Amino acid sequence: MKKLIAIALLTIVSTFTAFAQTSKDEQEVLKFNTEYEQAQINRDVTFFERSLADNYTFSGPDGGTENKTQALEWLRKEKEKPTNKLISLKSEDVKAKVTGNTAIVTGTWVSTTSPAGDDKAEPHMDKGRYTSVLEKRNGKWVVVAEHVSEAQHDRKLMEQQVLKMGKEYGEMIRRGDAAAIERVLADDYLYTDEKGKVKNKAEDLATYKNREYKIESVENSDQKVRVIGNNAAIETANFRVKGTGKDGKPFDDTYRYTTTWVWRGGRWQVAADHTSQIKP
């Protein structure tokens, strides 16, 4: 009987010890995860240099992958010349499971960003899930692999944003505001006119900078937006434009346009435009 009691007590002690050890490891991993999150907000390249394993792999929502060198290069560029301002980043429903020297961390990430250098822009919120694989090497936890997914954005909100941007874009054209147009056009922007001629961003901007014609009014009608995924939208509409040409003659023309909008750097930008004239 004494032997059986001793065995039972030994089993209980062993189980409690294992549980306590697991809890300690999990707490350690969760603490590391919090530090990792803060380093992302601060763009702390030094932290990631020591916390990403040499064989680190990142998988993003679009299925693309990055290794450690590529991830660090992106972080350095974002720190030196940020494309967007990370206002906040937090994790919810975080769970850690530790088995030996390996840990799996899962959670929901929520971020709030705004375009870099644009204090008037409305903050934008993103949400998704992440899974991280960690290993304990030389007594320290390092990230071996990460996978991040992104939840579907609010379609109605995206439609409203693009409709608003479409109207603002028309107003920029009316004013001939080359500086504002330059900000809204993507670097790889292409414009196809009613004659089939294609212009890149620099060529299109030259039209406004050179003041080849004066626009008095731009009127949009039948404006529609179709959202594609989380990062693109197609806007279609008619627009009537009145003004004076470089020959001094007045014009009053109506066009049909298709504009492709892309979400980049925390804001909507125009990737492509196509117009066709509607003959009276």
pLDDT tens column, 137-171: 999 999 999 999 999 888 898 999 999 999 999 99
Which tokens hold the place of 147?
């996978």
Sequence-ordered list of residues with C-beta below 8 angstroms from that of 47, at least 6 positions apart, any chain = 35, 36, 39
SS3 102: strand
**What kind and span of H or E run contains 215?**
strand 214-228
Residues 78-90: tens digit of each pLDDT: 888 888 788 888 8
Inter-residue contact 67 to 57 (CB < 8 Å): yes
Residue 22's pLDDT is what?
Answer: 52
CB atoms within 10 A of CB 7: 10
Query: Average per-residue pLDDT in the chain?
Result: 87
Nearest to 144 by CA among 198, 115, 101, 189: 101
On the question of pLDDT at 20 being above 90, the answer is no
Q: Which amino acid is located at 231 in the chain?
A: N
> Distance (Å, rounded) from C-alpha 189 to C-alpha 196?
16
Sequence-ordered list of residues with C-beta below 8 angstroms from that of 66, at least 6 positions apart, any chain = 57, 58, 60, 74
Residue 12's pLDDT is what?
Answer: 36
Sequence-ordered list of residues with C-beta below 8 angstroms from that of 34, at least 6 positions apart, any chain = 91
**What kind and span of H or E run contains 58?**
strand 52-59
All structural domains of the chain: 2-150 (3.10.450.50), 155-278 (3.10.450.50)
On the question of pLDDT at 2 being above 80, the answer is no
> Distance (Å, rounded) from C-alpha 110 to C-alpha 36?
14
Nearest to 208 by CA among 194, 218, 223, 195: 218
Residues 84-135: tens digit of each pLDDT: 788 888 889 999 999 999 999 999 999 888 877 776 677 888 899 999 999 9
pLDDT band at 17 (very low <50, low <70, confident <90, very high): very low
pLDDT band at 10 (very low <50, low <70, confident <90, very high): very low
| Helices and strands counted in the chain (H then E) | 6, 12
On the question of pLDDT at 202 being above 90, the answer is yes
State mean pLDDT over 242-266: 89
State mean pLDDT over 60-71: 93
SS3 212: coil
3-state DSSP helix/strand/coil % of the chain, to nearest 5 = 35, 45, 20
